[in-house]
Each structure stands twice: as structure tokens, then as C-alpha cells.
Chains A and B, each alone.
Chain A
């Protein structure tokens, strides 16, 4: 008989209370392997902490999203939202799945070009486009989504100087029946700014208006908001046809689909409450198909979904550094990955799981390794007792965490991709002192 494991004694408040409608607490979830590869062997090979991205999950989720839309609407095109995760290896998978690129800066634009994306298949969003950026966009025949009048004027000026046509769309902000209304980007629909901008563009010599874009917000949990946004854009689309006898080519509903992560303060887990791709697709395509747009002139539907596509494909593997008992008796632990790597921990109650069955759980706080008070990964999580060196997995970290991770206090870790064949590849190397020496300059003093 194997020797029983020793568990430190602990006093746990009996907290039977009212049983929730979901019954008794479920079994502790364990993530011991990713796509068939043991977490322990991944960490052994690539170190800790470690970002792991599953190509299989990326492709499966993308296929699910595609099917949801393409079986409901005749012309659908996804554009990979670069800012969500712009590692070249990740972008390449999306481009391989047929996605265009959605970029919000000159840097992302250059990155998309270097990933082999045809310039005409880049949607250029964002409030910050310099003249140089606009020149690059025009030269590459990209779809420029104009954010404000000053950009419009600059674009008119730039295209005139270049003597080249620019393909443009405008970003529209609108009241989709949700709070908050994002009105800082684009031209407002309700007060007529959008219509004003459209008229100016239609009359501008070197601008070719080809689409309408909106992005109603992020982590939108009501699909009805998309239906409202789609029908408002459909109205504009028809108004343009009526006035100019001209059909635009596309309507872009941006991103903002919720992933299955659970927002802080949410009562129920996100996986239960967030709409599925089918729900979003149903709302959007119904709104467009039953709008007054004649079906033979239905525009191409663009989607810039980022978060909902990749969140599930990203894992962060981490190791317990220390256990601590806080003053109030609550248990806490320190792990080697903190908010420097987990930007989304500010929004979500991230799922942190052990890699093997452990003993009884109690409410704990999980701190990151930074010497900063804000470095809290989870305030309160019911977690089993662990020893130092225990390996943990944080799931659903594919979106934003890698692009927004900070180089702060410590080096950023390896990012590893598990490909379709189950092979692992480093897709971004761990930082080292060299990384910094390469870009830092130290003026010589006499």
C-alpha cells in the first residue's frame, strides 16, 4: 500500500449554507496535460512560468465560429485582431484559416505585411494613424477605417498628394442598447456625425468608401446589442444606396464577443452565461437578412473577433514559490506568474488549476511574484493546499495576456506552441539580459 500523503491540519469554516441550485460543490478540476502533452514535461523542457498555445484549439474554435456564421449568412470574412495576440506563429494560423488582418497601428500593419498578408486584406482601425501610416496603408491598398474628422482631413490631403485612391470605411459608434455606450471611437450614428462623414467621403475625390465599421464594446454578453448595431449599419448602408446609387461592399461589426472567462463580480461562470458563436451569428445574420437590403446586394460581413477565438487556446503554466498564512488566518500562496504576465487578471477571475488531484481545498489568495502590492492573481479562490514547487495551470489566457504582458521586474517567459501533430515549438524566446543590452544605450561620462 502506498503511503498516505500528509495533509497539514486546517480549520475550515463550515459553510454549508443554502445549497445553490447547482447542488453540491463539484470535484476539483485538474489540468495535467495540454493536447496530450504532460504539463510537467513542458515545464521541465521550457521552464516556468510558461505560456502554452494550442494550435488545435485555435483551429477548432475558428472552425466553429466560421460554421456558425457561414451557415447563416452568405458572405462572411474574419479578420484576425492583431492586438489580441500578434505572435507571428499565432497570426499565421489564423491567416492559414483564411482570416484577414485587423490592425490598429503602423507597427501592427508592418507586422501583418511581414506575415505575408496582402495589403488589400488589412483592415486598419484605431484612432492613431500618422501620415506615414496612412501613406503605407494607401500604398498597400488597405481598408482604412476612419476614426475622426481630423483623420479624414489628413487622409484626403495625403491621398491627394499621392495621387492615389484610398479605400476607406468609417467607424460608427452607436447606441446598441447596452451600457456603457462606446462613443470615443468613430462617428456617432444618432447625432448624424456618421452621415456627415459619409457625405464628405463620397464627395472626396480620392476616397472610395467601401464599408461601414462599428465596434460596440468588449466582452458584450447580450447578442441583441449586435442585432441593433447591425440594423443601424444596414440603415446607413441603404441610405447611401438611396442617395448615391452606390452599394458599399461590407459591413464590419468589429469584435467584442465574450470568451468563456468569468468576469470579476459575475455570479455565474462565463462558460454558462456567455452567448455562443451561434447566438451572436443568429442575431447578426437575422438582423442583416431581414433588413431592407435586397438579398442580392447583401454586403460582406466582416468580423474582427479576437478574444472569443483565442482565449481558450492559451495556458499559462506556473509554479508555487511559497505558502503563507495571512494575518486574518486566510491561506495565500505566491506563484511565479503575476500581473506582469496576466493583464486579464484585472478583469477576470482566472481559472487556476492544479495538475494533479490534491487534498481538501480552502479559500486562498494567489499572489504573483512581483514586489508590488497590486500583484494579485486571484483574491479568493477555493484551492487545495499545495507545496512549494507544485505546478499549476492557468487556463483561458490566450487573449491579450501575451501582447499586454509587461517586462517588469523580471524577464518574460517562453511562449510555446503545440502544433497539430503534438510537436512543441518555442514561438517567442524567453528574455534575457542580452535582450535589454541590445536596445539600451548608456551615455559615456567623463
Chain B
């Protein structure tokens, strides 16, 4: 009973605290505590804010809105701002708190409405609900005669004395004297203004909170502010207007939102902040002029306008170049987003919804890759030609004078990914060798629609060999037809490309293959990559055992033993038993949850590849080591093949080094964690027999090795994991089994 109470109490506390930190897109409890503190600089407004948050969150709870959004404070922060804002306009009184309750309710429903409407476009609702509500109150303010307009901000010393006596007044004076630069003063004022505070102290406390929560956010807040400050000077806008209304928070919020939260922080996102902020300034100035007519402030309107505009514009892109990327998995912290992303851009399914396999069986050679020397040029540059060669590199037997001599001729061509057949050409005769049919350039062709704006085209197929028809829904691997020699094809080969439209002559799309094995001395497993000219590639064959044990099913429980031993002394340093549970969250992410310490390991399995996407909780726990040892494991594999990746650096580094890295992370990552996994034994084609793999995790500082972890994992036929990790002179042994 008391445990349930505890949990409910914790949930309530979290939803309230998060409503505070959510104003800065954060769920940091430290930041929240700072913000709660400064909101009570004016106790009337502080109470108003708290009431508003409580009402919004209670409404969300009892009306049955999403518990996750509730807990993360998304339903509360707009009402909080309204409560603070309204609380500052009027003198504290019963009537005022009645008004706050009403406006908080209005704001809550506006939150739901804007979430619904903007959510359809995949956009956040930001502080629009607050804006609408605060304008309603401001515009009707003069008519609410039972409420007295607040006199605060006029008798500053009186208020300070009321708050903390002589000490507070002393602190105030000291700060005022200390921070003399108007550049810095206005920065702190602007920060404080986000919480309707007027003093330097509030701004200083918020900035410290931001620094603790995220170094990137902190840097961005300064960057955003500085850019607009410079722009003010450059175009000669009277600078006092900035200090007078402290409207500068628009610049800070825009920089924080776009520079590091909704986009992955990096040089490009920083550059865009510099480009965008002048327009925020202009919008601010102009809206101020306009709203002056109504004697109200535009508040955060410029921030909302620019952020929504930019995010929506980015969403309509056809491609996602590496530099400017919407945050695929929102971890609620710019550093974490960046480190996760920097590990391997390619891992994220959000970026590439189509994970195509090779459209054939067996090993084929790329005879012309992207930007090829023969025909893959201009708008048609992003295509592949595939042929089959023998070990001497020859692509035909005998004289090669007949199509049938060519190894690839007549071989099955399969669907690269699930989709709908939108175009079939099946009636063009195969050429004699050396001849080309430039009239029917593409020959017999199948075009498949995989996703909005992503089509694949397979061309030069064999005359009358196509076995699908327009409108067929097909799955990855479905037989389409046979490799042939029709169209502009001097010798039999398969032409394969992605394209943005369903038409035969469509230009190509720069889109990678989801996964394939690259033949070399050993095979490497490539994900979301582009086979190059001359490379020999094949589809991996799934290992049933790996597929089974790495398919974690919600509700499944895993338990085991964990032991750390010193190799030098032989002493056992730690020995424990653990229990994990598999769960899913609202975003459909699956994670392993440790019942002992509450740490979570998020994972993803697309049927071809298992990888952990994130780990939260205590480092050094059994789940942490499990996360590292099996960070990325392909399910289809050949013995002695290798896969490489990078572990997010924040998973393995800490302390001052990490803070330093955070500060400059968007510019340069000097920390790095290399991960490579080699399959030593993968059972046989019937997937009987144990799977044995070794992984090597190397920590690097500016390229120099700074620590190495070697792990060996054996997966037994009955699904038991045996993991051994060695680093320094420690040996960790772990056994995990299903319950």
C-alpha cells in the first residue's frame, strides 16, 4: 500500500517539477528546483504558477490524457507560464487565484487542442497555448476591476526586503555592482524574463541551472542572445528596447529549441541559429509595434513563429543531409541526442524508413556504382548495376556470345523491400550480346512504391519473366522476375535504383541499402550503406538462434548472476544476482529494465539487426555491461564477419573531461568509443550450435587509446547468454537466462 502511495507521490512530484523545466525543453530535476525557487521570488506569482500547474496536471490526469506526457510536464508548462504571468499582473488575492484557476483551465484545453492540431504535422505546440491565454487576460485586464493591478517592480527594495531582509538587499546591490556590462546584464534579464522575473539574480540562477542541465543549452542561450545583440547594433535598433521589455528571451529560446533540441546540435544547426535569429529580431520588433496598439506584449510569439516555420519547412524535405537533422529519438537532452546520433547516423530508422536488402540471391558484383563511369550520371547517378562473376572475375562461361552464357542471366530478382508494385513492363525482347535498345532504355522493369516518395526500380529484366503485376502488395524477398538483357543493356545485368517518383524515366534518389554483407578477406556487415563499384555483396542469412534470443518480448523476464573478479589478486569484488524485465514505452521503444537499480537499456530490432539505442541509469551495473557487450549484433551472419560502430561517448566517459566535451561537442568530438564485434562461431545453416562472438570496445581521447574492454559472449542453444568482459585487471562474468 505504502509503496503504491510512494509511486503516486513520485509521479505527482515529477509531473509538477517537469512542468517547470519543460519551459527549457528539459526534464532535469535540478533545473526544475532552481526554477521553482526563482518563481517564488514573488510569492504571489509563485503560488499562482504552482496552482496553475496543479490544475492543468489534475485535469490531464482525471480526464484521462496520456500519462507519459503528463509525467514529462508537457501538459503543465503552458499553464505554469499563464499562472506566473497572471500572478504578476495582479495583486495576490482570492479573486486572483480564482482567475488563475480559470485561465489555467483554458490554457490546458488550448494545450490539448494545439497538441492535436500541430501534432498532425509532427510539430510541437511550444508556448502557443500560453500566448493565447495570456493575451486573453491582458486584453481583458483593464475590465477586471475587482483585481488590483500589481505594483511590483516599482518598489524594488521594498520587495527585496520583504523577501530576505537586509541580506537580500545587500546581495542585490552587490550583484548590480558586480555585473556592470550591459551585454551580460541584459542576458540575465532576458533569462529571468522567461519566468517573468526582473532581477539579475533570477537570470543568474537560471543560467546556472541551464549549465547543470546541459552545457550545449547553456552555450546556445549565450549564442542566441549574442547574435541578436550584435544584430541590434548592426542595424541600429535602439538597444534600450531590449533591456526595457527583456523580450530578448525570444532569441534565447529560439536558439535553445533549434540549435540543440529539435535538431541535432552541430556546426550546421549553430550556423542556422546565426542565420535565423536576425529574422526573429525583426519579427520581434514588428510584432511589438503591432501589439503596442493593443497595449499588450507579443511575449514569445516571435520564438513560436520562427521555430514552427523552420521545423515545418525542414519536415517537407525529400532528403536529410547529414548536417541538419531533426532529432530522431528525443532523449530530452541535447548532449545525449548528439552523442547518440554521432555514434552512427546510419542506425536510425527514422532517417531511412526503407531498409532495403539486395534484390537477388547469392553473391553479386557491383559493375557500376553510384556516379558510375558509364551511364550513372546526372539525374541518374544514384543507381547500381549488378552482375555475377566467378572467382576469376569473369561474368560469363564459354565465349560470352549469348545471353545464356552470362552467370546472372535468368537469375531470380526479388523485392528489395515491402511495397506495392506500381509499374510493370514485361514485353521488351532481350538484346543479343553487344546490342543496345536505346528506344526502350530501361527494358523490362518493375517499379515498387515503398513509402511516400521512395520507389525502387529494377530494370533490364528478362523478356516475359516478370511474375508480379501492378497493384500487387509484395514483401521483401518476393520473386519479381528474372535478370535479363532488355533495354539499354549491352550484356545481361540488373539495374537497381531508388527514385522519388513512380515513373520509368524518373531521376534517382541518393538512398542507401539497409543491410548487406560485403565480401573481403572476411565479410563485413554493412548497414545503410552504398556498395561501391567492384565490390562483391550478398544478403545475410538470418541465424535463427540470434534472431530468437535477441527478440525481446514485452513481459519477458531475464535473470542471472554477475561477478567481478580481480585478475591480480583473484579476489571477488562483487557478486550479485539480477532480474530484468522487458517493457515498451509510449513511443513503442522496447527496453530492458533492471528491477534492482531501475536502469534502462533501450533497444531496437529491425529483423536484421539488434542494437541498443540508449542506456539510462547507473553505470557499472549488470545491465550496463550487457548493453556494452551486445551493443550491436546483426542477426544474419557468417562466421568471422565483423561489424563496427561507435558507442555514445557519454555512456563511457564522465567527470570534467565530459563537461569539456559537452561544451564543444557540436563543433568537435575529441572523445570517441569504438565498438567492433566479430562472430567467431555462428552455428550452422540450420542454426544449431552455439553462437560465439567477441566484441572490443576502445575508449579514445583525441585518437589516443584510453582504455579497452574485451568481451566474449556465448549464446547457448537453449538461449542462455554467457558473457565475460575483461578490462584493466578485472574480469566480469555474467550469465543471463530467460525465466
Contacts and interface: CB of A to CB of B under 8 A. Distances in A.
A330 to B, nearest CB: 39
Contact of A295 (B391, B478, B539): B478
Contacts of A290: 467, 479
A71 B388 contact: yes
Interface string A272-313: 000000000010010001100001100010000000000000
A92 interface: no
Interface string B681-706: 00011111100000000000000000
Nearest to B689: A120
A285 B412 CA distance: 9
Contact of A71 (B362, B475, B687): B362
A63 interface: yes
B719 to A, nearest CB: 16
Contacts of A120: 684, 686, 688-689
B401 interface: no
B577 to A, nearest CB: 30
Contact of A72 (B361, B390, B477, B684): B361
Given A118-B689, A249-B686, A250-B686, A71 B479 contact: no
Nearest to B391: A63
B400 to A, nearest CB: 15
Interface string B386-399: 00101100000000
A290 B414 CA distance: 12
Interface residues of B, number: 27
A404 to B, nearest CB: 30
B511 interface: no
Interface in A69-108: 70-75, 77, 100
B386 to A, nearest CB: 11
B412 A75 contact: no
A75 B541 contact: yes
B363 interface: yes
B479 A295 contact: yes
Given A289-B479, A295-B479, A296-B477, A67 B686 contact: no
Contacts of A71: 360-364, 388, 407-408, 411
Interface residues on A, range: 20 to 34
Contacts of A289: 412, 479
A403 interface: no
A210 B686 contact: yes
A77 B408 CA distance: 20
Contacts of B688: 120, 141, 167
B689 A73 contact: no
Interface string B449-481: 000000000000000000100000001011100
A282 B686 CA distance: 23
B152 to A, nearest CB: 69
Contacts of A424: none
A341 B356 CA distance: 55
Contacts of A64: 390
Nearest to B538: A70
Given A74-B361, A120-B688, A120-B689, A282 B479 contact: no
Interface of B is mostly: loop
A119 to B, nearest CB: 10
Interface of A is mostly: mixed
A296 B407 contact: no
B410 interface: yes
Contacts of B362: 67, 70-72
B479 A72 contact: no
B477 A295 contact: yes
B686 A300 contact: yes
Contact of A70 (B363, B477, B684): B363
Contacts of A70: 361-363
A250 B539 CA distance: 19
A300 B688 CA distance: 13
A75 B477 CA distance: 13
A296 B478 CA distance: 9
A235 interface: no
Nearest to A98: B685
B130 to A, nearest CB: 51
A250 B684 CA distance: 12
Interface string B355-378: 000001111100000000000000
B355 to A, nearest CB: 15
Contacts of B360: 71
Nearest to A281: B411
A323 interface: no
Interface string A387-426: 0000000000000000000000000000000000000000
Nearest to A74: B361
Contacts of A210: 686
Interface in B261-308: none
A74 B364 CA distance: 13
Contact of B475 (A100, A118, A295): A295
Interface string A118-134: 10110000000000000
Contact of B685 (A118, A282, A300): A300
A125 to B, nearest CB: 16
A120 B113 CA distance: 63
A296 B608 CA distance: 12
Contact of A73 (B361, B478, B685): B361
Given A67-B388, A71-B360, A72-B412, A77 B479 contact: no
Contacts of B411: 71-72
24 contacts: A63-B391, A67-B362, A67-B388, A67-B390, A71-B361, A71-B407, A72-B361, A72-B362, A72-B411, A74-B477, A74-B539, A75-B685, A77-B685, A100-B684, A120-B686, A120-B689, A249-B686, A282-B410, A289-B479, A290-B479, A295-B477, A295-B479, A300-B685, A300-B686
Interface of B: 360-364, 388, 390-391, 407-408, 410-412, 414, 467, 475, 477-479, 539, 541, 684-689
The 6 A-B pairs of least Cβ separation, nearest first, read: A71-B362, A70-B362, A295-B477, A77-B685, A249-B686, A71-B411
Interface of A: 63-64, 67, 70-75, 77, 100, 118, 120-121, 141, 167, 210, 249-250, 282, 285, 289-290, 295-296, 300
